[in-house]
Chains A and B, each alone.
Chain A
Amino acid sequence: KNEVEQSPQNLTAQEGEFITINCSYSVGISALHWLQQHPGGGIVSLFMLSSGKKKHGRLIATINIQEKHSSLHITASHPRDSAVYICAALISGNTPLVFGKGTRLSVIA
């Protein structure tokens, strides 16, 4: 069993829909990253969270440390949001990230 689990694996949405991607982890962490990967392969860091909530534009990320759960929300989704969204856990300061398998999002116009 992977230490970081994401759901759903695949998600198709109509433009404008509100989207939620979930991430749960089984170990104690110091921070959690949400990453976006486009078909070309490059990964962009969206958020790094250790508590609470962060917002950037139409993206919102929340984390509940006690429940070992984080969510990424996209409001007013757009086809350009289509990508793979990956959560990755940082267990302690200088350890490598532990990645989920990603959620493939397709937003249809």
Chain B
Amino acid sequence: ETGVTQSPTHLIKTRGQQVTLRCSSQSGHNTVSWYQQALGQGPQFIFQYYREEENGRGNFPPRFSGLQFPNYSSELNVNALELDDSALYLCASSFPGQGGNTIYFGEGSWLTVV
């Protein structure tokens, strides 16, 4: 039990649609990161939020956007879905600004785009 909850666990969307994935972190974990993991690959960094502001972004197009809320929950939004967006999306939270703290992952949301 990591204390990080993601929803939905599985979903299927059609190309061109929009999706919102949600993550609820432990209280006090005001750094949250989102990752995309394609089948057989390691997770790839999408972006990171700290105290409700984006403070790091990976090599993903602007149609990937996010929000973080004061209650330690966050969202990943993907617009104009493409087939290649099919992947496991993971969120992870930790205490901020302390190099080497334990990181807590959610179970992930499996997205299939058809």
Contact = CB atoms under 8 A, between A and B. Distances in A.
Interface of A: 4, 30-31, 33, 35, 40-45, 48, 50, 86, 88, 90, 92-102
Interface of B: 2, 31, 33, 35, 37, 40-45, 48, 50, 55-56, 58, 88, 90, 92, 96-108, 110
B99 A92 contact: yes
Given A41-B107, A99-B42, A94 B102 contact: no
B96 A94 contact: yes
A72 B105 CA distance: 20
A42 B105 CA distance: 7
B105 A93 contact: no
Question: Which residue of A30, A42, A48, A88 has the most chain B CB atoms within 10 A of its CB atom?
Answer: A42
A90 B2 contact: no
Contacts of A35: 105
A79 B13 CA distance: 35
A108 to B, nearest CB: 21
A76 B101 CA distance: 29
A40 B108 CA distance: 9
B88 A41 contact: yes
B53 to A, nearest CB: 12
Contact of A43 (B41, B58, B90, B100): B90
Contacts of A93: 97-99
A48 B50 contact: no
B99 A99 contact: no
A96 B108 contact: no
B112 to A, nearest CB: 13
18 contacts: A30-B100, A31-B99, A33-B103, A40-B107, A43-B43, A43-B90, A43-B105, A45-B103, A88-B43, A90-B100, A93-B97, A93-B98, A96-B56, A96-B58, A97-B45, A97-B92, A98-B45, A101-B40
